[in-house]
C-alpha cells in the first residue's frame, strides 16, 4: 500500500477527524435514506460488499443497526466477537487488520482501547469505523444530531446540556460542538471531571463549551438535556461512581429549569432511577426511541461515506 492510497481510505474514527461539510453531507444522506426507506425503497449502494463487525464488548443498538443497515444497502455482514478471534490469544491488532483487509471490505469495531482502534486503522487497507471505545462514540452523536434537527431544526445556536459522567459519549459531543456550532454546558462532579484530553478538546472549541459542577447551571434554558449511564463498559468502582453521581440524576425538577420546548436524550441502555428518572425518560420531552431508530439511518450514511458514496442514485 502506498502512502497516498493509505491516506485516501475513509475511516470513521472520531468526529474531530472530519470537517463540517463532510459531516453535514453524511447527515443529509442519513435523512435521504430514512425518507427512501419509509417509501419502501432500499438503494443497493453496497451490493456485494462485506462488513466485518468485531465486538469486544456488549451491544444492542450498534450491532443491530449496522447489521440491518448493511443488509438494507445490499451488503453482507460478519459478526465477530473479540473473544472468539486470535486477538484474545495475543495476535496483534495490526496483523488482524492486515488479514481482515484481505477478506472483507470494511470493519466496524467496538473495542475499549482507543489506541487499539487507531492501530487497527493504521494497519488496515480498508475503512475502519469506531463503534465505541472508552474514549469516544462518534456514530452515536451523528444519530443524536439528526434526531435533534428532525424535532427542532438546525442545531447551531442550540443550547445543549450534558449532565453526569464525563465519558465517551460526552467526548464525541465535545467534538461535535466544535463543528456544528451549538453551545454545550457540561455538569460533571469534580471527582469524575473531564480528562486532560477532553479539557484540550473543550479549549479547542473556544467559548462555546462551559464546564460546571452544578446541573442547574448547565440546564438553565437548555434546548436539549443529555445524560448517560454512570458506569460505562470497563469502568471500575461502580458503587463509588454511583454515590458521587447521585446529585446528577436528571429528574423533573432539573428539566423544569430548561427551555419550555426542551428535549431529553440518552444513547441507551438507560438505568431508570440512577442517571434519569422514569418520569423524564418516559415523559413527553424524551426522544430516546427516535434517537435509537436514527442509529440505523445514520449508520447507513456513515457506511455510504466510508465506501466513497456521497449521493444517492
User: Which are the catalytic amino acids?
Assistant: 110, 137, 140, 228, 267, 295
In angstroms, the CA 311 to CA 29 distance is 7
In angstroms, the CA 239 to CA 241 distance is 5
70-78, 229-237, 242-250, 278-286 -> range binding ligand NVA (CB under 6 A) = 229-237
Give me 35's grid cell.
425518507
40-48, 59-67, 184-192, 297-305 -> range binding ligand CP (CB under 6 A) = 59-67
Give me 140's grid cell.
452515536
158 to 197: interface string for ligand NVA, x by CB under 6 A = ---------xxx----------------------------
Q: Does residue 112 touch ligand CP according to CB under 6 A?
A: no
In angstroms, the CA 70 to CA 45 distance is 9
Closest distance between ligand NVA and the C-beta of residue 58, in Å? 8
Query: Torsions phi, psi of 14, nearest 5?
Result: -155, 145
Given ligand NVA, ligand CP, none, residue 228, with its beta carbon under 5 to 8 Å by kind, binds ligand NVA
38-46, 54-62, 280-288, 300-308 -> range binding ligand CP (CB under 6 A) = 54-62
Q: Does residue 259 touch ligand NVA according to CB under 6 A?
A: no
Q: Does residue 60 touch ligand CP according to CB under 6 A?
A: yes
Q: Does residue 78 touch ligand NVA according to CB under 6 A?
A: no
Whether 79 contacts 132, CB under 8 Å: no
Given ligand CP, ligand NVA, none, residue 232, with its beta carbon under 5 to 8 Å by kind, binds ligand NVA
Of 56 and 105, nearer to ligand NVA (C-beta) is 56
Q: Does residue 299 touch ligand CP according to CB under 6 A?
A: no
37-45, 61-69, 121-129, 158-166 -> range binding ligand CP (CB under 6 A) = 61-69
Instruction: Please provide the distance, in angstroms rounded to a whole number, between the alpha carbons at the two ends of the chain.
Output: 31
Question: Count H helices, E strands: the chain?
Answer: 13, 9
In angstroms, the CA 233 to CA 237 distance is 12
Q: Does residue 81 touch ligand CP according to CB under 6 A?
A: no
Pairing of strands 183-187, 159-163: parallel
How buried is residue 100: exposed, middle or buried, by Cβ count under 10 Å (0-12/13-18/19+)? buried
- Binding test (CB under 6 A) with ligand CP, winner from 268, 290, 309, 312: 268
Beta partners for residue 12, in sequence order: 129
- Binding test (CB under 6 A) with ligand CP, winner from 161, 184, 267, 288: 267
DSSP H or E run through 90: none
Beta strands in the chain (DSSP E): 50-55, 76-81, 106-110, 128-130, 159-163, 183-187, 209-212, 224-227, 263-266
Q: Does residue 294 touch ligand NVA according to CB under 6 A?
A: no
- Binding test (CB under 6 A) with ligand CP, winner from 61, 183, 297, 305: 61
**Which parts of this chain interact with ligand NVA (CB under 6 A)?**
132, 167-169, 228-229, 232-233, 267
**Which parts of this chain interact with ligand CP (CB under 6 A)?**
59-63, 132, 140, 267-268
Amino acid at each position: 500500500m502506498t502512502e497516498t492510497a493509505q491516506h485516501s481510505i475513509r475511516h470513521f474514527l472520531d468526529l474531530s477527524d472530519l470537517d463540517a461539510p463532510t459531516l453535514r453531507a453524511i447527515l443529509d444522506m442519513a435523512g435521504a435514506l430514512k425518507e427512501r426507506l419509509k417509501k419502501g425503497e432500499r438503494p443497493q449502494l453496497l451490493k456485494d460488499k462485506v462488513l466485518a463487525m468485531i465486538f469486544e464488548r456488549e451491544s444492542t443498538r450498534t450491532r443491530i443497526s449496522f447489521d440491518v443497515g448493511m443488509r438494507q444497502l445490499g451488503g453482507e455482514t460478519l459478526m465477530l466477537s473479540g473473544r472468539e478471534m486470535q486477538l484474545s490469544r495475543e495476535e496483534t491488532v495490526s496483523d488482524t487488520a492486515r488479514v481482515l483487509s484481505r477478506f472483507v471490505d470494511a470493519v466496524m469495531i467496538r473495542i475499549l482501547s482507543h489506541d487499539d482502534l487507531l492501530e487497527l486503522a493504521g494497519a488496515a487497507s480498508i475503512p475502519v469505523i469506531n463503534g465505541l471505545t472508552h474514549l469516544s462514540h462518534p456514530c452515536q452523536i451523528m444519530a443524536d444530531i439528526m434526531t435533534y434537527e428532525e424535532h427542532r431544526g438546525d442545531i447551531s445556536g442550540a443550547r445543549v446540556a450534558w449532565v453526569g459522567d464525563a465519558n465517551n459519549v460526552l467526548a464525541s459531543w465535545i467534538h461535535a460542538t466544535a463543528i456544528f456550532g451549538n453551545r454545550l454546558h457540561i455538569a460533571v462532579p469534580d471527582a469524575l471531571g473531564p480528562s486532560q484530553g477532553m479539557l484540550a478538546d473543550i479549549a479547542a472549541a473556544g467559548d462555546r463549551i462551559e464546564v460546571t459542577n452544578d446541573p442547574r447551571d448547565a440546564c438553565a434554558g437548555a434546548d436539549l438535556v443529555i445524560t448517560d449511564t454512570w458506569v460505562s463498559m470497563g469502568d471500575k468502582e461502580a458503587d463509588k461512581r454511583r454515590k458521587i453521581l447521585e446529585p446528577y440524576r436528571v429528574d423533573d425538577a432539573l428539566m423544569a429549569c430548561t427551555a419550555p420546548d426542551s428535549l431529553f436524550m440518552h444513547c441507551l441502555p438507560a438505568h431508570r432511577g440512577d442517571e434519569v428518572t422514569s418520569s423524564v425518560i418516559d415523559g413527553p420531552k424524551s426522544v430516546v426511541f427516535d434517537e435509537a431508530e436514527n442509529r440505523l439511518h445514520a449508520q447507513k450514511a456513515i457506511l455510504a461515506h466510508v465506501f466513497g458514496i456521497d449521493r444517492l442514485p
